[in-house]
Amino acid sequence: MIKKISIFTFLLFCLTAYCQEKDPIKDFKYYIENEQVISENKLPAHASFTSYTSEENALKNNPHYYKLLNGTWKFNWVKNPKDRPTTFMNPKADVSNWDDIKVPSNWEVEGFGIPIYVNHQYEFVDYKAMIADDMELVDRIYPKNPGNVPDNYNPVGTYRRDFNIEKDWNDKEIFLHIGAMKAGGFVWLNGIYIGYSQGSKLPSEFNITKAAKSGKNTIAIQIFRWTDGSYLECQDFFRISGIERDVYIYAQPKIRLKDFEVTSVLDKAYENGVFDVTIDLKNHNSKNQTINVFYKLLDSNTVVSSGENKINKSQETSTSFNAIIPNAKLWSAEHPNLYTLILEAKDSKGKTIEVTRTKIGFRSVEIKNGLLLVNGQLITLKGVNTQETDPETGHVMSEEMIMKDIKLWKKNNINAVRLSHYPRGRRFYELCDRYGLYVVDEANIESHGMYYGKYSLAKNPSWEKAHVDRMVRMVERDKNHPSVIIWSLGNEAGNGVNFFKGYDAIKANDNTKRPVQYERPYKDYDGSLYDMDSNTDIIVPQYPSLARFEEVGKSKTDRPYIPSEYAHAMGNSTGNFQDYWDIIEQYDNLQGGFIWDWVDQSIWKTNENGERYYAYGGDYGENMPTDNTFLNNGIVFPDRTPQPSLYEVKKAHEYINFKNKGINRHNELRVLVENLYDFTNLDQFDFKAEIKADGQILKQITIDDISVETHTGKLIRIPLNEINFILIENIVIIYERRIICRCVVMIAVFG
């Protein structure tokens, strides 16, 4: 009898804990202070896609087996982990007296805990203002035990909500998707432990089929503000916590699409599209089953390529298709042409099992002769660093706010963004694909508080798994987006074995073989921009001077020179921004750069008089670590109202230059029109000249038939007849009605 009870107890434990070795409640420190434990039961990363029941539903974006869990959840917050609830995952536990919180949201913005802003240091072990007496330093500034987090001050947020699952989900595989949770969290469903995840800026997905049921289900999540993963998330922004992106469940059939990778590049002549797609399938049934896999590539509503493969295997298998697309419409930031790829699985009787669709673009990205080329053409990245920030909601961004950014970028001659310093949500990339932006996709790695010497986590082999996982999961999720033209290993984390391993892993996992960059690969022996280490394909320093730009431009480099951060835009800055671009436009190997940064990152706070103001470091709590206003370096305010800097940037980034080349003997003003576009002839625009004096328009002239190829110039002549003027040292002086003034010739361009 005792043996039977013991066996039953063991089986019950396995059921409630998915047979994990450790108890996530009792042994929580095993998870949150152990760099070797970065997840439990979390599914491998895969390309972003949605499962549909038919092609019609796919084209209408109408998924049947999808349920969004955003909204109001019950919420409990404690400062000290020992005070956190421990039986809340039981659906019978009463949580009615808990607070409510929005999902997604940041706790601190919603009034739970203190937002902390620091730049270099870890907020939980900052030598300038220690908030926990159980944390230790070595050599005055470095955390003594990287991976350890405070025992008594490590806020914990516990979430719970109920939801229903319809009966027609019963024969499906059911998955939970948590878009982003910071810093690390445990998940239960119906009292059954599902898993653990950290790495706060990529999705956590779990197979919840065995725990889910028809009807009412109870999901519970417990998130710790700081984990060992926080040592890789030391970015220059407000350090805040919570579920920051969408939470949803979805279902797929027992034989399902697991992942797919699209390679859509160009042939050597940069004319025809070279298409390849590899599809991974998983069979959750115990028996083999014959299925037919189809693909269809659409240009608008026209099928340009299609194919079918038959498969009869169990468990996991892959199948591939390839094709040449003659005279493919190419994708670039200037002309973001997209095709629709439809993938479909059918059973042996022709019945549809599953369908998905995605947008793809044909473009090649390569480095040749030390230059970055897209579609065989030298490009210039007129970029900004950008973050997820909204003054109303912290690090939670709506699609409306994302679109506000994109529209401002396109209107102000910004064609590239570096995601500083973590990957964004799925929708962001889809919109960049659609509207045309070059994306540097950056892994969620910055260990700035350990700096770059002997304590750097980059040099510590025990942190290899944590580093490489973040890089590879980013690549696996975002590999099919044409807007992603460069991968970044991270930011300000030193250099060492973990970044060499990460570089190799990215190259191995990306069939498109995009360039990889990192800003810190200076060699220990002799750190020089002209001899960066092997784990960067691009020279991407930070804050080079004008003199350094020109020095590099005059030199032959083996890699493109594209500073990852320059023109620090804090306060009344960027006044000399045009000077950078006067130099950049002279030299091929100077291929742009990324302004630090796009937007001031303050959040709204209300004072005792009911007045709202933009708060920054030091405005919350007492004796907190702070770097004060240093998070406000943008060229737009937090609500995206333009600062004067934005207009300066727009002017300097202009794609068309007009250069005065003097007046000829026929009284015509010579103007050299330079085309700085990479893929657009100026015959796509209408031009008009205005001759103005003292603000008055004296003459308007329409200029016809200007055709200027990319990266070239063409001289045009503007007649000054009927204008009374004299020329003194290249200054046109107009005299009419005894008024003497300087002439201004304005040329307007209309797309």
The predicted pLDDT at position 7 comes to 37
The predicted pLDDT at position 14 comes to 43
Rounded to whole angstroms, the Cα distance separating 304 from 326 reads 9
380-599+634-652 sits in which CATH class? Answer: alpha beta
C-alpha dist (Å) from residue 466 to 11, 197, 440, 447 = 32, 12, 21, 12
- Residue 558's contacts (CB-CB under 8 Å, 6 or more residues apart) are 370
* Greater model confidence, 742 or 353: 353
Residue 1 has pLDDT above 80, yes or no: no
Residue 209 has pLDDT above 90, yes or no: yes
Q: Is 510 in contact with 475 (CB distance < 8 Å)?
A: yes
Domain ranges of the chain: 22-45+60-251, 255-360, 380-599+634-652, 656-750
Cα pseudo-dihedral 352, 356, 360, 366, rounded to 10: -100
With cut-offs at 50, 70 and 90, classify the pLDDT of residue 711: very high
Q: Torsions phi, psi of 420, nearest 5?
A: -100, 115
Q: Is 18 in contact with 195 (CB distance < 8 Å)?
A: yes
Please determine whether the domains at 22-45+60-251 and 255-360 fall in the same fold group of CATH.
Answer: no
- Token pair listed for 579: 């000077």
DSSP per-residue letters across 623-648: S----GGGG---SB-TT-PBPHHHHH
Q: Is 86 in contact with 25 (CB distance < 8 Å)?
A: yes
Summarised one tens digit per residue, pLDDT across range 592-605 is 999 999 999 999 99
Minimum mean pLDDT among 32-46, 96-110, 229-243, 713-727: which range?
Answer: 713-727
DSSP 33: T
Residues of the chain with pLDDT > 70, as a percent, come to: 94
Summarised one tens digit per residue, pLDDT across range 420-431 is 999 999 999 999
Query: Span 255-360: which CATH code?
Result: 2.60.40.10
Q: 292, 297, 257: which is closest to 278 by C-alpha? A: 257
Of the residues 35, 492, 550, 648, only one is catalytic, namely 492
| 3-state class (DSSP) for residue 130 | coil
The predicted pLDDT at position 16 comes to 44
With cut-offs at 50, 70 and 90, classify the pLDDT of residue 722: confident
Question: Catalytic: 492?
Answer: yes
- Token pair listed for 385: 């660093």
The predicted pLDDT at position 322 comes to 97
How many Cα atoms within 13 Å fall on the side-chain side of residue 699? Answer: 15
C-alpha dist (Å) from residue 137 to 127, 128, 144, 395 = 7, 11, 5, 30
The predicted pLDDT at position 377 comes to 98
Rounded to whole angstroms, the Cα distance separating 530 from 399 reads 41
Mean pLDDT of 721-731: 72
Q: 692, 749, 685: which is closest to 720 by C-alpha? A: 692
Minimum mean pLDDT among 10-24, 218-232, 309-323, 328-342: which range?
Answer: 10-24
* Superfamily designation of domain 656-750: Immunoglobulins (2.60.40.10)
Summarised one tens digit per residue, pLDDT across range 314-332 is 789 999 999 999 999 999 9
With cut-offs at 50, 70 and 90, classify the pLDDT of residue 2: very low
What amino acid occupies position 403?
A: M
C-alpha dist (Å) from residue 728 to 88, 695, 697, 743 = 84, 21, 22, 12
Number of Cβ within 10 Å of residue 393's Cβ equals 20
The predicted pLDDT at position 303 comes to 98
The predicted pLDDT at position 745 comes to 52
The predicted pLDDT at position 161 comes to 98
Mean pLDDT of 728-740: 50
Residues of the chain with pLDDT > 90, as a percent, come to: 89
Q: Is 494 in contact with 451 (CB distance < 8 Å)?
A: yes
Mean pLDDT of 649-667: 94
Minimum mean pLDDT among 286-295, 412-421, 483-492, 594-603: which range?
Answer: 286-295
With cut-offs at 50, 70 and 90, classify the pLDDT of residue 166: very high
Mean pLDDT of 410-437: 98
Mean pLDDT of 571-591: 95
Q: 203, 185, 181, 202: which is closest to 194 by C-alpha? A: 185
Tell me the average pLDDT of the chain.
93
Rounded to whole angstroms, the Cα distance separating 623 from 129 reads 7
Cα pseudo-dihedral 191, 196, 198, 203, rounded to 10: -70
Question: Catalytic: 123?
Answer: no
The predicted pLDDT at position 573 comes to 85
Residue 730 has pLDDT above 70, yes or no: no
The predicted pLDDT at position 106 comes to 98
pTM: 0.94
The predicted pLDDT at position 739 comes to 35
Residue 729 has pLDDT above 70, yes or no: no
- Token pair listed for 503: 């570089």
22-45+60-251 sits in which CATH class? Answer: mainly beta
The predicted pLDDT at position 5 comes to 37
Summarised one tens digit per residue, pLDDT across range 237-261 is 999 999 999 999 999 999 999 999 9
Mean pLDDT of 19-42: 93
Of the residues 108, 110, 173, 565, only one is catalytic, namely 565
